[in-house]
Structure 1
Amino acid sequence: MIESVKNRRSIRKYKQQDIDPNLLNDLLSTASRVSTIGNMQVYSVVVTRDAEMKAKLAPAHFNQPMVKGAPVVLTFCADFNRFTKWCELRNAKPGYANFLSFMNAATDALLYTQNFCTLAEEAGLGICYLGTVIYNPQQVIETLHLPNLVFPIATITLGYPDECPAQPDRLPIEAIVHEERYCDYTSEMIDKLYAYKESLPENKQFIAENNKETLAQVFTDVRYKKSDNEFMSDNFFKALKQQGFIE
């Protein structure tokens, strides 16, 4: 499995080959052995196979082609709805309509998501993680009929790979590991840690195509602009309020 993880890559093109429901259910069930906060398992997953439903989900994901092209789309959700109903039916008073509970459920959901992805790739399937689900949560909530205290956290496209793309670059291990305490980065360290990323021909092309001076400017001025982040943050908190996690 270590070699599988070392060689993993995001897959955006899939063979038109169905995934055996028994295999998918086994992967989803096995993934639930992952750690969970307080053994509450405050997460759920919506499995989308129907082409019409995938078409309805696509706009929330900026119409990325793999949403319609993948045999299966999985939406992993923070879910305190089920646990709350269990508490109420057992004469217990739940107190989970708050931001901390959302964070707990979101953590559970992401742990489950990653465990599923690792298992799916080990089984020969390809996945692509779509962060767009938290950019447009209202559309996903409406399309999937998510009730109060349920919030979409991650979307995964799933299928048998029909491509073998190059692996994207990663920062060296010394960029992310701190021994005993956090050691803040000096300018010299930043230069060293980002040197390889900045040297790649595809990233230099990225800079040129966007008419920028540095790769960092592509991120701050084009890909993840402050104005976009603020707009989507506001939208995110509106959706949290709509779903009952904050007042």
Structure 2
Amino acid sequence: MTAFETLNRHRSIRKYTNQPVGEDLLNRILTAGTRASTTGNMQVYSIVVSKDSVRKAALAPAHFNQPSITNAPVVLTFCADFNRFNKWCRQRNAEPGYDNFLSFVTGAIDALLVAQNVCIAAEDEGLGICYFGTTTYNADKIIETLNLPKGVVPVTTVTLGFSDEKPELTDRLPLQAVVHEETYQDYSPEVIDALYREKEGMPLYQGFVKEHNKETLAQVFTDVRYKKADNEHFSKVLLQVLKNQGFFQD
């Protein structure tokens, strides 16, 4: 299978069989992950592998008890990690200056690049994966559960295993919705209508609108799924996490 075929067949898998992911296969996937681009070749990230059922159960509340956290054979927590790099610097008579927001962003980018490499490698091997955006919502709980030291912040979680379902491919906006030639071309009301017309017309999304008694699909996002109050609350939690972990000063 070509890289293009692997990328274009991506599905988020939330149901897994009981078949374990062998150690050799997992290590091959993780090694491919570490071949991702990284800022200055510093590799300021870490991956916490959770396979133990008790550990996965402990992680589940931080992900709002979504069943696939405990159902998946492997749960991978990708972290921005300057703890290791800082220790290496100090042991080599070099004083690190990475206790700032920019360094967190650097580590987060590194971790996300590795996560995507891991996902592509896993799918190429015939496994299923699913990203969990809940990681940054409850980073404080994950830090406690995984015993993450100062300098380490979880940024995304991926479940991994052999699929027990085959969902339809998820829709995507047309390419012209996300690609800008040379400079950013802002969207007129007419262009917005055109770009979202197909999505809004899909039975799945029309069902969401009806289910939640809303007028538009956009209201499902703003009023139900990603509410302002929730965004503000979890923003405060994450900012406090960054302060506690040494990445953000007042």
Counterpart secondary structure, 2:149: coil
| Equivalent of residue 74 in structure 1, options 76, 86, 94 | 76
- Say which SS state the counterpart of residue 119 (structure 1) adopts: helix
Q: Deviations over 1:157-184 (max 9, x none)?
A: 1100010011111000000000000000
Give 1:136's aligned amino acid: N
In structure 1, list runs of 5 or more residues that go unmatched.
none
Equivalent residues in 2 for 1:7-156, closer than 5 Å: 7-156=9-158
SS in 1 for 2:243: helix
CA RMSD of superposed structures (Å): 0.6
Per the TM alignment, residue 188 of structure 1 is displaced from its structure 2 partner at its CA by: 0.5
Q: Which amino acid aligns with 2:66?
A: Q
1:139 & 1:69 partners in 2: Cα distance? 20
What is the match of residue 181 of structure 2? 179
Amino acid at match of 2:147: H
Q: TM-score, normalised by structure 1?
A: 0.99
Q: Which runs of 4+ in 1 moved over 3 A?
A: none
Q: Any idea what the Cα deviations from partners look like across 1:203-245, whole Å, max 9, x if unmatched? A: 0010000000000000001111111100110011011111111
State the 1:52 CA deviation: 0.2
SS of residue paired to 2:6:
helix
Aligned residues: 247
Q: Secondary structure at the match of 2:120?
A: helix
With structure 2 as the length reference, what TM-score do the two structures score? 0.98
Tell me which residue corresponds to 1:197. Answer: 199
3-state SS of the aligned residue for 1:75? strand
Shift of 1:5: 1.1
Report the secondary structure of 2:210's partner residue. Answer: helix
Per-residue deviation, 1:153 = 0.6
Query: How far apart are 1:3 and its partner, in Å?
Result: 1.1
Aligned partner of 2:167 among 165, 172, 182: 165
What is the identity percentage for the equivalent residue pairs of Structure 1 and Structure 2? 59
